[in-house]
């Protein structure tokens, strides 16, 4: 967590409704030498359904592996999140720490260890100290319930602001609420969900349907953002549904209200994903890259990410330079079908290139004005087919280097 709030941050923390069956608490486990809480403990009433998506990294943390093993069981009683130490690449000692956290929490709640979901974020390669974990848990067990803003702040690392969003849906005659908290600022690349994110709803949703909805929502949100092209070892997004709203449980997409709930969940995921990009390390510009006319949606997605991850494109945007040649470069290196002489590129609403050439006589002034703002749009039309995709990223500034050069100190 840094002292300087991102210039792209929202004005303040949103008002979040209480979610029946969910109680957050925080405590200090002293994982780092910082004067703040670093352990979030959230209890969930019996009958809570669970769904999740985790990193595609081939070097996942033991917390990720624990969640993967527990998710198929479809039920949850608690969530424990540690900040300051990712516990990744720590061998048998890391796994022992996860098992100890699950056992102690399960003993406190009188449930099975597999009902406990665990996530950690922070430095890689340092085993999570079991004594600190257990002392922190004991403090959390005894703590009074906290606000969602406090819970969101506690899971932060290099984030500059606490992140959350809320929405709601109508299922039958009931209004159900959905909220989410998320952390993420660097090591953000879309290989499922590039951060730690936790969603809570009072809706009654069967685990299999909740999993299908979350996976689909992820594909249009968390998997469409990138800050620096680096995929974390610890990425985890979990959704918990307590069923306390009293709606008829959703089991299939044909059930009344299922489409509305899915739309609300998708909207919430997109809100949370955008917040991560807006807090990209050192970011000063929020960039939307829309690609159309590709041979397939998958091809469009790959091309959009090639543009979004290009250091040359990102630094040009940071310097407010309308260098569309760098966009051409990023399209060409993506390894997807593209015809140079059919490309069209725009910045904002201004077409700058088409047919393999700069638009004759185009005025760069409106493009320069657009790039001086904080919300940037880049549009590409490949003119090859109907595939399309949109991704979101941020610029690359000196701030990114400063944050990451000093990360462990």
The CATH code of the domain that includes 35 is: 3.60.70.12
Domain-embedded: residue 229 = yes
Residue after which a domain boundary falls, among 278, 301, 330: 278
Considering the domain architecture, whether residues 339 and 368 belong to the same structural domain is answered as: yes
The CATH code of the domain that includes 327 is: 3.10.20.340
- Kindly write down the DSSP assignment for every residue of 242-283, as one continuous string: --TT-PPPB-STTSTTHHHHHHHHHHHHHHHHHHHHHT-TT-
Q: Which of residues 344 and 396 earns the better pLDDT score?
A: 344
Considering the domain architecture, whether residues 180 and 325 belong to the same structural domain is answered as: no
Which pLDDT value is given to residue 404?
62
Domain-embedded: residue 17 = no
Considering the domain architecture, whether residues 52 and 129 belong to the same structural domain is answered as: yes
User: Is residue 188 predicted with pLDDT exceeding 60?
Assistant: no
Is 194 designated active site?
yes
Considering the domain architecture, whether residues 118 and 144 belong to the same structural domain is answered as: yes
User: Is residue 192 predicted with pLDDT exceeding 70?
Assistant: no
Considering the domain architecture, whether residues 128 and 222 belong to the same structural domain is answered as: yes
Considering the domain architecture, whether residues 229 and 364 belong to the same structural domain is answered as: no
Least-confidence region, from 112-121, 179-188, 249-258: 179-188
Q: State how far the Cα of 297 lies from the Cα of 346, in Å rounded to an integer.
A: 20
Which candidate, 64, 160, 75, 156, places its Cα nearest to that of 118?
Answer: 64
Q: Is 157 annotated as a binding residue?
A: yes
Which candidate, 57, 83, 261, places its Cα nearest to that of 183?
Answer: 83
Structural domains in the chain (count): 2
Domain-embedded: residue 14 = no
For 121-166, the pLDDT digits (tens) are: 888 888 899 999 999 999 999 999 999 999 999 999 889 999 999 9
Q: How confident is the model at residue 193 (pLDDT cuts 50, 70, 90)?
A: very low
Considering the domain architecture, whether residues 229 and 338 belong to the same structural domain is answered as: no
Considering the domain architecture, whether residues 359 and 261 belong to the same structural domain is answered as: no
- Which distant-in-sequence residues (6+ apart) come within 8 Å of 113 by Cβ? 99, 102, 103, 105, 106
Which pLDDT value is given to residue 409?
46
Considering the domain architecture, whether residues 201 and 103 belong to the same structural domain is answered as: yes
Least-confidence region, from 106-115, 186-195, 216-225, 348-357: 186-195
Q: Is 6 annotated as a binding residue?
A: no
Which pLDDT value is given to residue 186?
53
Which pLDDT value is given to residue 194?
44
Inter-residue contact 288 to 392 (CB < 8 Å): yes
Residue after which a domain boundary falls, among 278, 309, 333: 278
Considering the domain architecture, whether residues 337 and 359 belong to the same structural domain is answered as: yes
Q: Is 409 annotated as a binding residue?
A: yes
Q: Which of 158, 194, 231, 233 is catalytic?
A: 194
Domain span at 139? 22-278
Q: Is 194 annotated as a binding residue?
A: yes
Domain-embedded: residue 2 = no
Mean pLDDT on 78-94: 91
Percent with pLDDT over 90 in the chain: 78
Domain-embedded: residue 215 = yes
Considering the domain architecture, whether residues 291 and 371 belong to the same structural domain is answered as: yes
Considering the domain architecture, whether residues 179 and 309 belong to the same structural domain is answered as: no
Domain-embedded: residue 381 = yes
Mean pLDDT on 206-213: 98
Mean pLDDT on 36-42: 96
C-alpha distances in angstroms, 301 versus 118, 120, 143, 219, 304? 31, 29, 45, 11, 5
Mean model confidence pLDDT for the chain: 92
| Alpha helices per DSSP H over 85-206 | 91-109, 130-142, 148-154
Domain-embedded: residue 3 = no
Mean pLDDT on 311-329: 92
Residue after which a domain boundary falls, among 278, 305, 321: 278
User: Is residue 191 predicted with pLDDT exceeding 80?
Assistant: no
* Its pTM surpasses 0.75: yes
Domain-embedded: residue 274 = yes
Q: Is 404 annotated as a binding residue?
A: yes
For 343-366, the pLDDT digits (tens) are: 999 999 999 999 989 999 888 889
Q: How confident is the model at residue 316 (pLDDT cuts 50, 70, 90)?
A: very high
- Torsion on CA atoms 318, 323, 327, 328, rounded to nearest 10: -160
Q: How confident is the model at residue 398 (pLDDT cuts 50, 70, 90)?
A: confident
Which pLDDT value is given to residue 282?
79
């Amino acid at each position: 967590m840094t002292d300087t709030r991102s210039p792209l941050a929202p004005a303040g923390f949103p008002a979040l409704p209480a979610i029946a069956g969910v109680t957050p608490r925080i405590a200090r486990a002293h994982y780092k030498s910082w004067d703040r809480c670093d352990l979030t403990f959230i209890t969930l009433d019996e009958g809570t359904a669970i769904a999740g998506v985790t990193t595609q990294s081939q070097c996942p943390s033991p917390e990720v592996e624990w969640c993967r093993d527990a998710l198929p069981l479809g039920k949850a009683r608690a969530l424990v999140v540690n900040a300051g130490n990712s516990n990744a690449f720590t061998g048998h000692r890391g796994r022992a720490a996860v098992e100890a956290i699950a056992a102690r929490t399960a003993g406190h709640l009188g449930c099975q260890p597999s009902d406990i979901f665990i996530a950690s974020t922070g430095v890689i390669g340092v085993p999570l100290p079991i004594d600190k974990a257990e002392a922190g848990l004991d403090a959390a067990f005894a703590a009074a319930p906290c606000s969602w803003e406090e819970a969101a702040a506690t899971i932060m690392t290099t984030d500059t602001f606490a992140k959350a969003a809320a929405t709601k849906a109508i299922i039958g005659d009931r209004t159900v609420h959905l909220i989410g908290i998320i952390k993420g600022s660097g090591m953000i690349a879309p290989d499922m969900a590039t951060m730690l994110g936790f969603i809570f709803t009072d809706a009654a949703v069967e685990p299999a349907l909740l999993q299908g909805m979350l996976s689909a929502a992820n594909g249009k949100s968390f998997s469409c953002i990138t800050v620096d092209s680096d995929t974390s070892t610890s990425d985890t997004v979990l959704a918990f549904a307590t069923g306390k709203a009293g709606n008829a449980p959703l089991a299939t997409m044909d059930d009344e209200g299922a489409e509305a709930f899915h739309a609300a969940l998708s909207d919430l995921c997109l809100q949370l994903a955008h917040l991560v990009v807006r807090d990209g390390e050192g970011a000063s510009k929020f960039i939307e890259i829309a690609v159309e006319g590709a041979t397939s949606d998958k091809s469009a997605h790959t091309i959009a990410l090639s543009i979004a991850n290009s250091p040359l494109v990102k630094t040009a945007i940071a310097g407010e330079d309308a260098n569309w040649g760098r966009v051409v470069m990023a399209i060409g290196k993506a390894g997807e079908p593209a015809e140079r002489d059919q490309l069209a590129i725009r910045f904002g609403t201004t077409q700058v290139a088409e047919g393999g050439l700069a638009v004759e006589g185009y005025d760069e002034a409106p493009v320069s004005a657009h790039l001086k703002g904080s919300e940037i749009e880049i549009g590409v039309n490949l003119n090859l087919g109907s595939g399309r995709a949109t991704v979101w990223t941020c610029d690359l500034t000196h701030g990114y280097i400063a944050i990451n050069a000093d990360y462990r100190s």
